[in-house]
Amino acid sequence: MRRPVRIAVTGAAGAISYSLLFKIAAGEMMGKDQPVILQLIELPHAMDSLRGVAMELMDCAYPLLHTITLHDNVEDGFNNAHYALLVGAKPRGPGMERSDLLEENAAIFARQGKALNDYANRDVKVLITGNPANTNALIASRNAPDLSPSQFTCLTRLDHNRAKGILANHSGATTRDIGGIMIWGNHSATQYPDLHQATILGKPALSQIDTAWYRDEFIPKVQKRGAEIIEARGLSSAASAAQAIVDQMRDWVLGTEPGEITSMGILSDGSYGITKGIFFSFPVRCNYGRYQIVQDISVNEFGRKRLTETEEELLEEKAVVEHLLPKETEASH
């Protein structure tokens, strides 16, 4: 049996974690031969609820679940973590502006970045889910000067999976028959779900579906899916978000399928003309625990406009929190 790996999860008593933790313990994220130690982190007032979740995890008798530890602060919770899933965040309250949400979460993710810097394993891989995920990832990474920004990613796999599921449902194919989906930009309504490289049963998707449906229905549907689910459930997506976290982390660690593209929110290195230093979803391939942006994809005028729109939104978000960001170092690029 392999040595267990340490996985820290914030917001561990929340709705997403109530699906996520059980999938991790069952081996869906790190593989069916990899024991795990779960370091679960919550706010002090949610510790009772967290103890209940831990009891349930124990009661599943998962063979791969080595140990569970519970923490009411990130400094203890991130100790020696090989993987950190930053799920907890402050939700938007009544009358709160987006900028208030950005600022309140900036303080939380600054502390979490510092704690990762000071206490986590030097090779920690971090995935930020708490919204606004891209800008929270920027704040956390900038507060971790001793870690590489490439160790930080934000969740856009949910948008990727949504695009795939919605296209499969529309075309009558199964998701297994669909490849080449790409999500560009922010995890928000400005994201660009791009089907120009997508295939259904090996043939270009756009030759098999109506362009008007793609532009006028598919794109807004994927962009606004989170809001549509909140409207229908009265709560934000949870099980599908948990699945996406598992998928994104598993691909990052164990690699994407040969020839397959996925989407991850990562620090822009200037590829495709996107401003360096913002977290932006790009098409990537993963191998040996690393991700690489898929280069040389042609982006037409329609796509370029959408890339610029979502890039501008991320630059505006960055401007709102700029005063809270530590000075940029060489490593931030």
What's the CA angle centered on 294, arms 292 and 297, to 5 degrees? 165
Cα–Cα distance measured from residue 128 to residue 144, given in angstroms and rounded to the nearest whole number: 14
5 phi, psi to nearest 5 deg:
-105, 150
What's the CA angle centered on 69, arms 66 and 70, to 5 degrees? 150
Cα–Cα distance measured from residue 163 to residue 178, given in angstroms and rounded to the nearest whole number: 10
Dihedral of alpha carbons 323, 273, 188, 265, sign: negative
35 binds ligand LMR (CB under 6 A): no
Q: Which residues, 6+ apart, have CB-to-CB distance to 214 below 8 Å?
A: 195, 206
Q: Which of 7, 8, 9, 16 binds ligand NAD (CB under 6 A)?
A: 16
Q: Which of 21, 53, 57, 108 binds ligand NAD (CB under 6 A)?
A: 108
> Which residues partner with 41 through β-bridges?
10, 71
Q: How far is the CB of 221 from ligand LMR (least distance, A)?
A: 12
Torsion of CA 95, 97, 100, 102, to 10 degrees: 130
For 21, the token pair is 């933790």
241 binds ligand NAD (CB under 6 A): yes
When the beta carbons of 167 and 244 are compared against ligand LMR, the nearer one is: 244
Among the residue ranges 11-19, 29-37, 51-59, 204-212, the one whose residues contact ligand NAD (CB under 6 A): 11-19
Q: How far is the CB of 281 from ligand LMR (least distance, A)?
A: 12
**Residue 232 assigned as binding residue:** no
189 binds ligand LMR (CB under 6 A): no
Is 187 annotated as catalytic?
Answer: yes
Pick from ligand LMR, ligand NAD, none: which does 155 bind, CB < 5 to 8 A by kind? ligand NAD
**Catalytic residue (choose from 187, 196, 323, 333):** 187
In the annotated binding site for substrate, the residues are 92, 98, 131, 162
* Site residues (vs ligand LMR, CB under 6 A): 131, 158, 226, 229, 236-237
* Active-site amino acid positions: 187
In the annotated binding site for NAD(+), the residues are 11-17, 105, 112, 129-131
